[in-house]
Structure 1
């Protein structure tokens, strides 16, 4: 295969890797928790407690993963992550007691810490430099199908192969599909072409603003992924209607990425991120005022806003700081987000127990703080 043909496969391969990685980690326990808990002799609450621990492991490893990307390139990091995911999923599939189950979930956290969007975006920045916005958007678009397809695919596997079989199939997808494709298609980061690195990345006002922006975004996104159907039932929908309306969130996230991908690309990423922070509050306001008839607006607003911010997490560090130390910088500004998301399901659930209105007010308030953080974001001199 010619080098040009291989180059054209980079975005599809990265997108496929993100679909498999998200579906088999971040979105896995949404449908696997109950049978996994029963098979390991514990409760679903223990499963989700372990998942919170996995988010903390992910946060702790994220800065290391960023420096690893800058030193060795995205191909090596993604390949290692595929092996970590496969080992974690195999351990879960074999788990017959709580200790093994918890170990498997925590190992999933290690995979998430080094193997989600960060190294994929770093590959694209190494290849395209400041022109990587469109490729990042394309990979983010494909990765969104990890959420849209992950739950139904895992459910089908559970129904046909059992929950252990589902774990083994996802493990096999990492080893037999993703890993060979990474090595066959992605460039070797050690052979040159990596973004330049010049010393340690230091915090400044812009990075603090980005960290607060994305910490809020991830907190709200994690809270919504855990509680959106329940929130919608509090707004008057039946459980079946709530499940259907919640599905609008994934559809909106995919649709908004398609729009960004099709756009000419001359707009400011900062302005796009600023607009994205207002979409959840707008949907929440419509849903709260309209009640049952307009409850789906909160799912649409959250999905569209989160879709734009997922792209921004890759584009804004590049837009504001350039290629230099991209992997380490992007990982560093997202590290607080990984920590705060661990507490989102519990804390938002406590607020939702009080009332749906208070819950919408809390998540919208966080989005308004994010909105404020977008002011003062300017590219460093010389970019």
Structure 2
């Protein structure tokens, strides 16, 4: 595909992911306080609703993968845009605890089917096993969902209030993302249908290893997203210093994805995966033993490692298993990660309450397990 429209597919998918992540996964980081104050509820209930949304997202993930393989990524992404918009509009109209939680759970439905999976599947349908570079490019653009999401939401709250921020994100889904998807993305239903045999995905040792690896990665990533400033505070930084050091995590994730894009096709994906699993323990060790002045190393290590792992979640299923049933297989591999993600802030917070050293030791031990899971992965005919 070399038409002008086809060259816009990667930017469109990347932009859609920025909006999806910023308006759901990262939304409540700055919206929870004014939302709770404006609806007579508490931030703790808001975040409990977010944990429920993560669980719904995990439960829907395999269904979303099968839906993509049957009908194509465009249909799933357009449906997700509508669901996100409904959840955000419901949040903007909410008047009490029940309506707040219901709207957040609706966002969980969108998260279950509207993140990286269908976007990567669109690229695999177009490029086949040559989709590594566009997958990396979309992952790179999507990383700005975290870097831009919080400041954009905060700016909208200051401009039009928290309800206006919810309606603003809903409008972006309906008025920008939805028309772009319908206009520029290929209709996956035009492709060949899988037979009953080729449509069945069976678990094997490689899928189990990847599932364990990415479950650990998502547990750490979610814990760091919620608790990194607090962790840095326990390492000796004051609140302003901790906030500044925590921002290094998003920057490192963007930089390594850019490097991965520029070097796409060079080196072994499994070797890169092994490196990614070791970056968090390396940063944790430097931060713990290096004292306050080097505390930001854990943010750099986590950001760089997670940036590479995010790319690997799209590339490795394609590299190891090929394009057949790609979306279903990727969704199955990542489903345990989605469930474990819901427990990450609470479980890591308990460890951090004991000591920063214990928390860093636990997350580093998980990374060692992830490193072990990289052995036994190889591509087969």
Q: Normalising TM by the smaller chain, what interval?
A: over 0.9
Secondary structure of residue in 2 paired with 1:203:
coil
Secondary structure of residue in 2 paired with 1:5:
coil
What's 1:262 paired with?
262
What's 2:29 paired with?
30
Shift of residue 198, structure 1, vs aligned partner:
1.0
Does the aligned pair in 1 maintain the 2:68–2:327 contact within 8 Å? yes
Moved over 2 A (4+): 193-197
Secondary structure of residue in 1 paired with 2:375:
coil
Q: Distance in 2 between matches of 1:350 and 1:176?
A: 42
Q: For 1:254-294, what per-residue CA distance to the aligned partner results, in whole angstroms no more than 9, with x for missing partners?
A: 00000011115221111111110000000000000012100
Residue correspondences, number: 380
What's 2:49 paired with?
50
Shift of residue 217, structure 1, vs aligned partner:
0.4
The structure-2 alpha-carbon separation of the partners of 1:335 and 1:243, relative to structure 1 and needing over 3 Å to count, comes to same
Does the aligned pair in 1 maintain the 2:117–2:327 contact within 8 Å? yes
Q: Distance in 2 between matches of 1:194 and 1:324?
A: 11
What's 2:58 paired with?
59
Q: For 1:354-376, what per-residue CA distance to the aligned partner results, in whole angstroms no more than 9, with x for missing partners?
A: 00000000111111100000010
What's 1:15 paired with?
14
Does the aligned pair in 1 maintain the 2:132–2:264 contact within 8 Å? no
Shift of residue 40, structure 1, vs aligned partner:
1.8
- Mapping for residues 60-75 of structure 1, pairs under 5 Å: 60-75=59-74
- Mapping for residues 1-383 of structure 1, pairs under 5 Å: 4-192=3-191, 198-380=198-380, 382=381
Shift of residue 37, structure 1, vs aligned partner:
1.1
Q: Distance in 2 between matches of 1:24 and 1:45?
A: 19
Shift of residue 193, structure 1, vs aligned partner:
6.4
CA RMSD, 1 decimal: 1.2
> Gaps spanning 5+ residues in structure 1: where?
none
Shift of residue 179, structure 1, vs aligned partner:
0.2
Q: Distance in 1 between matches of 2:365 and 2:77?
A: 36
Q: Distance in 2 between matches of 1:72 and 1:172?
A: 26
Q: For 1:123-173, what per-residue CA distance to the aligned partner results, in whole angstroms no more than 9, with x for missing partners?
A: 000011111010000000000000000000000111111000000000000
The structure-2 alpha-carbon separation of the partners of 1:171 and 1:195, relative to structure 1 and needing over 3 Å to count, comes to farther
The structure-2 alpha-carbon separation of the partners of 1:193 and 1:297, relative to structure 1 and needing over 3 Å to count, comes to farther
Secondary structure of residue in 2 paired with 1:25:
coil
Does the aligned pair in 2 maintain the 1:126–1:194 contact within 8 Å? no
Does the aligned pair in 1 maintain the 2:58–2:338 contact within 8 Å? yes
Shift of residue 320, structure 1, vs aligned partner:
0.4
Does the aligned pair in 2 maintain the 1:78–1:120 contact within 8 Å? yes
Secondary structure of residue in 1 paired with 2:266:
coil
Does the aligned pair in 2 maintain the 1:127–1:193 contact within 8 Å? no
Shift of residue 194, structure 1, vs aligned partner:
7.7
Q: Distance in 2 between matches of 1:311 and 1:195?
A: 26
Does the aligned pair in 1 maintain the 2:283–2:300 contact within 8 Å? yes
Does the aligned pair in 1 maintain the 2:253–2:306 contact within 8 Å? yes
The structure-2 alpha-carbon separation of the partners of 1:290 and 1:259, relative to structure 1 and needing over 3 Å to count, comes to same
Q: Distance in 1 between matches of 2:264 and 2:320?
A: 20
> Gaps spanning 5+ residues in structure 2: where?
none
Does the aligned pair in 2 maintain the 1:15–1:139 contact within 8 Å? yes
Does the aligned pair in 2 maintain the 1:195–1:323 contact within 8 Å? no
Does the aligned pair in 1 maintain the 2:133–2:264 contact within 8 Å? no
User: What's the TM-score once normalised by structure 1's chain length?
Assistant: 0.98
Q: Which moved more, 1:245-254 or 1:189-198?
A: 189-198
Secondary structure of residue in 2 paired with 1:4:
coil
User: What's the TM-score once normalised by structure 2's chain length?
Assistant: 0.98
Q: Distance in 1 between matches of 2:80 and 2:113?
A: 6
